[in-house]
Structure 1
């Protein structure tokens, strides 16, 4: 069974999809019923008269003429005004073409692909009628190796200028297709749509429960990278935080009492107002750490292996606040 789209001769709207069964007379009978006319002739998109049903291919676009005698047609062609009408109709229908996008066919006009976005890749692909060579399927449709689901909203945009995406279609996929085909105005709309559909950035501090979950999910052989994360006010007391990378993390007001931070990287981290009382800081890296107002009482900086904690550039306020840090402490 073949499926075709039928239009009344001279128009390109209110088409009807019909199945081709039997003879040409059977098709004319179906066309008469669907289009509400007395169908007499069938033409292809190039204006050629079809006199054998075997010449019709699946997904063809056909134009149905009402009953008219050959003498009437010849009279029309002798009349300059009517002859121009026939010429315009033939020109219009030459403009119709079919795209095979990822195995799915779309019927549209060359002007649709060219007019809306004249500088796009699609416009350049179809502005000239002979640039495709043999890149067509057996039915003559132009082959395009892209996603049909993402292409459909783009084609509809070129038809009527509105961005409409059906439910279940990812706007991000449509955006990538719009960028691929160089349809800039549509890409801008899609970028706005994609951005608005994404959840807002969550900058809220991590809780103890969330962080413990991260710890349990990370093997002891893997580095847990927490640089730049927000732990403001978090309770991390008595946790094993050895060798964790807290570089540039926000630990302001965090509770790190009796936590094991041996070998941890706290470079440029914000430890202001944090409590590190009794924490193990053997071999910790605290280069340029902000420890203003932090409590470091009874911290263990001594390492039997001789590795010293590095507190270079730490905020001086920490030294004033914590008399337990004496010149004899093994700091560098």
Structure 2
């Protein structure tokens, strides 16, 4: 068996081996210290190697070096351990922490797809103000569901039946509504910026005051849709059916495009 090495990390005592300190992270500062290439000073009385760092989280450092895993930690603990990992130049541990540490803007959904299906089966179909961001709700029957004020960022509704569902004032940036049935849906004041609605059926849908910036409506059915005051800047309407749709905002966009073309032509002529 390998002889133990005694470490004094900021006043806390740990026992380990050279193999543990050098095997998993061979390019780290710890591996360099105990590789045998350097003389490491030891306390003449105790034989301990002293390292002037906070020893609180060094047990996690050793567990990482032994097993390559960590227990679930709070974000503040991850932050403290990250500083120690960076000091010891444990690149693998740094990457592990960054992958597992919750980012400040991460938004976890309050329900799972399974929860949603159970709600549908039990006819409890109100999700007002609920965070359902990043869930995959494709191909579900969510007709008549009330999503008002819900957080639906990057949520997938492709091929779902959402007829007459309510999306008033939802935050649905980057969501996917491809091939979804959105007939007669209410999106009053909703933020759908960057969302994909290709081939979606939006016949008679209410999109008044909605933010549709950079949305894609390729081959979407927008017949008789209400688009008053909707922001369609940068939206892609290629192949969309706009028969009977409110044309005020579309006329504005047409004039805006004509104005940009005029400015470009004027600039070329003037030069």
Residue in structure 2 matched with residue 255 of structure 1 by the alignment: 181
Q: Distance in 2 between matches of 1:234 and 1:207?
A: 15
Residue in structure 2 matched with residue 209 of structure 1 by the alignment: 116
Deviation at 1:151, TM superposition (A): 0.8
Q: Distance in 2 between matches of 1:230 and 1:116?
A: 40
Residue in structure 1 matched with residue 39 of structure 2 by the alignment: 128
| 1:1-332 superposed matches below 5 A | 97-101=5-9, 103-106=12-15, 108=17, 120-123=28-31, 125=33, 127-130=38-41, 139=46, 141-144=48-51, 145=55, 146-152=57-63, 154=65, 164-165=66-67, 169-170=70-71, 180-183=87-90, 187=92, 209=116, 215-217=128-130, 224-302=150-228, 308-312=229-233, 313-318=235-240, 321-325=241-245, 327=247, 329-331=248-250, 332=252
Residue in structure 1 matched with residue 263 of structure 2 by the alignment: none
Deviation at 1:251, TM superposition (A): 0.8
Q: Where in structure 2 are there 5+ consecutive unaligned residues? A: 101-112, 120-124, 132-147, 253-271
- Contact preservation (8 Å) 2:130, 2:150: no
TM-score, normalised on structure 1? Answer: 0.45
Change (3 A) 1:258 1:100: same
- Contact preservation (8 Å) 2:199, 2:218: yes
Change (3 A) 1:283 1:98: same
Q: Distance in 1 between matches of 2:191 and 2:24?
A: 56
Q: Distance in 1 between matches of 2:24 and 2:203?
A: 68
Report the 3-state secondary structure (helix = DSSP H, G, I; strand = E; otherwise coil) of the residue aligned with 1:209.
Answer: helix
Q: Distance in 1 between matches of 2:239 and 2:28?
A: 61
Deviations 1:89-134 (A, max 9, x none): xxxxxxx85213574431646x98679977632255563344x7xx
Query: Larger Rg: 1 or 2?
Result: 1
Give the strand-richer structure, 1 or 2. Answer: 1
Q: Distance in 1 between matches of 2:238 and 2:23?
A: 68
TM-score, normalised on structure 2? Answer: 0.53
Deviation at 1:317, TM superposition (A): 1.6
Deviation at 1:325, TM superposition (A): 2.6
Q: Distance in 2 between matches of 1:169 and 1:229?
A: 30
Change (3 A) 1:280 1:124: same
Q: Distance in 2 between matches of 1:207 and 1:237?
A: 21
Change (3 A) 1:183 1:261: closer
Q: Distance in 2 between matches of 1:280 and 1:233?
A: 20
